[in-house]
Amino acid sequence: MAIYALADLHLSLSIPDKSMEVFGSSWGDYISRVRENWENKVTEDDTVLIPGDISWATYVTEMEDDFRFISELPGRKLLSRGNHDYWWTTMKKMEEFLKEKNITKLEFVRTNVIPVEDALITGTRGWMIESIDSIEGTDNRKIYEREKLRIKMCLDEIGKADPEHAKKHIMMIHYPPITAKQDFTEFAHLMAEGGIDICVYGHLHGKAHKKVFEGEFEGTKFVCASADYIGFDPVRIL
């Protein structure tokens, strides 16, 4: 029973004109590659974390085909929001949509905590900036502060959860833990101070792979699970 991660599926089964294949050969036939790699590795007893950019859909009502594709893959799936997930709405509306369409094995992570084996999983979207100084007096500062609050909410929820059997605390966040200038964000500091053992993120594609940080920062291990970075093959994180 393992925990895997695969971010940035960028599914477009209902809106094929938004396929990521337009971004170059590295994305060629990516949906089939995701399915094949997933089915060759993940079992029904495993869990897969999907930290954002799940679909190009604009509204949750356009998500049936994409949700069903994910649902039919092996294992339990936990989904959190990315910057392109415009369809993401309230937990209630998303859960009601799944129930209406009889789609199972999908759960949403949005500052809540979900126990998986001996781990506690939480998450939010996060935000990426050029530098802390660059956002002063801009709307980015408001978004950045809001996401800081959401990370604190995640940490509070972990604190409230029964820690007796939780050997690991795992945070899903879409954006990387560093600024565009390669400085660690306050998000990274908060996670480290809050006892997050593993943070899995995505968002970085193509040339932006040079901005990937993988390794430990003040006790928190960071893992990049961007689909094209890991070859559209779920990476085992626990």
Instruction: For 171-209, write each residue's pLDDT tens digit.
Output: 999 999 999 888 999 999 999 999 999 999 999 998 899
Q: Give the global pTM.
A: 0.95
Cα 32 to chain centroid distance, Å, stands at 20
Distance CA 3, CA 44 (A): 11
What contacts 22, CB < 8 A, 6 or more positions away? none
Q: What percent of the chain has pLDDT over 90?
A: 79
Q: Which residue has the higher pLDDT, 17 or 202?
A: 202
pLDDT-derived band at 22 (thresholds 50, 70, 90) equals low
Distance CA 41, CA 222 (A): 22
Q: What is the mean pLDDT of residues 134-140?
A: 87
Beta bridge partners of 7: 226
Structural contact between residues 69 and 11, judged by C-beta atoms closer than 8 angstroms:
yes
pLDDT at residue 21, as a whole number: 66
pLDDT at residue 39, as a whole number: 98
Is the pLDDT score of 67 beyond 80? Answer: yes
Q: Which domains does the chain have, with CATH numbers?
A: 3-236 (3.60.21.10)
pLDDT at residue 135, as a whole number: 86
**3-state SS record for 154-197:** HHHHHHHCCCCCCCEEEEEECCCCECCCCCECHHHHHHHHCCCC
What contacts 99, CB < 8 A, 6 or more positions away? none
pLDDT at residue 12, as a whole number: 87
CA 190 vs CA 58, 77, 115, 150, 218: distances in Å:
31, 26, 21, 11, 10
Q: Which two tokens stand for residue 60?
A: 């949750």
pLDDT at residue 62, as a whole number: 95
pLDDT at residue 167, as a whole number: 86
Q: If you average pLDDT over every residue of the chain, what do you get? A: 93
